[in-house]
Amino acid sequence: MTAMSATTVTLEDNTFTDPRRRAPLVLGAADFATVTDRVAGLVERPRPPLGWYIGFGVAFVWMLVFFGLVGYLFLTGVGVWGNNSPVFWGFPIVNFVFWVGIGHAGTLISAILFLFRQHWRTSINRFAEAMTVFAVVCAGLFPAIHVGRVWLVYWLFPYPNPMGMWPNFRSPLLWDVFAVSTYATVSVLFWYLGMIPDLATLRDRAVTPLRRLLYGLFSLGWTGSARNWHVYERAYLSWRPWPLPWS
């Protein structure tokens, strides 16, 4: 124990670099079980707190306003944005770039900081990845709703059709479509990949059959074995540079 005392560190510190000891992942009065209880409890509680309802309500109202305005836009024409000639894109492209920028911030945290081994990112990782996903959704919305005839926007995608028409592969806008779709796909996949062990935890704790089924489905048979973790870490690392070119 004397040897131990020589290397004793305070329980509040998990940043020491003594290779002989594994740094504790949980500090303070908590242990793995209480942390898991606390985190999973948020998801498992029967109903969210009042604050959530208020926050969700405000966001929902804004979303309704947004959909109302988009509906007005669709019914009236893209002229409502005040674009003119030659400023054909003002408002939509500004919004697109704004949201793509927000998404890139999430990518920075989740991917670049991961590659640079910045472990402090883990505390905000999930949040940042979610932000990326939703920001990309917002960003992708604007190129879609900026077009004059929005009901035909699917023509931008290459899909087999009776007209025998393909999009124009020389157009940078088409590559925008590809870039945003790929970025969105990769961001969603990465977000999901990171969640798999957590989904498995929730599955294991699930008390209702529906939860068991759904969490079971999405946790992809995760057992938490060392082999699982090994494959998972390799996959996580190899996936990680993927979103970078798109950002």
Partner 1 sequence: MNDPGPTAPASPYWRTLEELADTPRFREMLAKEFPHGIELKGLQRRRWLQLMGASLALAGLGGCRWEKEEIAPFVHRPVGRVPGKAERYATAMDLAGTPIGLVATCVDGRPIKLEGNPNHPLSLGGTDVFAQAAVLELYDPDRGQDVVRRDGNRREIASWDGFRESLGKFVQSAPEGRGLAILAEASSSPTLARLRGRLTAQLPGLRWFEYEPWSDDHVRLGTQSAFGRPLRPFYRLDQARVILALDADLFGGMPGSVRWMRDFAATRDGNPERTSRLYVVEAAHTITGASADHRLPLSPRQIALFAAGLEAALKRLAAGEKLPESAATESAGNSVKIDPVPFLAAVAEDLWEAGPRGLVAAGPGLPPDAHASVARINDLLKNRGTTLLYYPAADPERPTHVEAVRELAEAMASGDIRGLLILGGNPAYNAPADVPLTDLLPKLEFSAHLGLYENETSRCCGWYLPQAHFLESWGDTLAWDGTYAAVQPTIEVLRNGKSALEILAMAGEFDGSPMQWVRETFAERTAGEGEAAESLWAATLQRGCHPPSQDQSVPDVAAAVEAEGDALGAFADAVRTAASNPSPADGLTLLFCRDASVLDGRFANSGWLQEFPDPMTRWTWGNPLVLGVSTARRLGCQDGRLVSLEIDGRAVEMPVCVLPGVAENTAVAYLGYGREAAGHVGGLADQGIPPVGTNVYPLRSSAAWFVRDGVSVRVLGKTVPIPCVQDHHLIDTVGLASRTERLGELVREVTLQRLNDPEAHYAAEHEVHHPPLESLWTEPSHDGHRWGLSVDLSKCLGCGACVVACQAENNIPVVGKERVLQSREMHWIRVDRYFRGDEDNPQSVHQPVMCQQCELAPCEQVCPVAATVHSKEGLNDMVYNRCVGTRYCANNCPYKVRRFNYFYYHQRVEQPENRLLQLVFNPEVTVRSRGVMEKCTYCVQRIQNAKITARNEGRAIADGEIRTACQQACPAQAIVFGDLADEQSAVSREHASARAYAMLAELNVKPRTKYLARVRNPNPRLTGNGESQEHVGHA
**Interface with partner 1 by CB under 8 A: which residues?**
76-90, 146-150, 152-153, 155-156, 165-168, 170-174, 177
Which residue's CB is nearer to partner 1, number 26 or number 153?
153
Residue among 43 and 173 whose Cβ is closer to partner 1: 173
Residues 138 and 59: their CA atoms lie apart, in Å, by: 14
Phi/psi region, residue 16 (left: phi>0; alpha: psi -120 to 50; beta: rest), is beta
- The nearer residue to partner 1, 91 or 134, going by C-beta atoms, is 91
CB of 165 to partner 1, least distance (A): 7
Hey, how many other C-beta atoms are within 10 angstroms of the C-beta on 61? Answer: 10
Distance in angstroms (rounded) separating the CA atoms of residues 236 and 247 = 18
Q: How far is the CB of 170 from partner 1 (least distance, A)?
A: 5
Nearer to partner 1, 17 or 76 (CB): 76
Please report how close the Cβ of residue 115 comes to partner 1 at its closest, in angstroms. Answer: 33
What is the nearest approach in angstroms of partner 1 to the Cβ of residue 138? 19
Euclidean distance between CA atoms 20 and 5, whole angstroms: 14
What is the C-alpha radius of gyration for the chain, rounded to an integer number of angstroms?
23
Element (H, E) at 189: helix 172-205
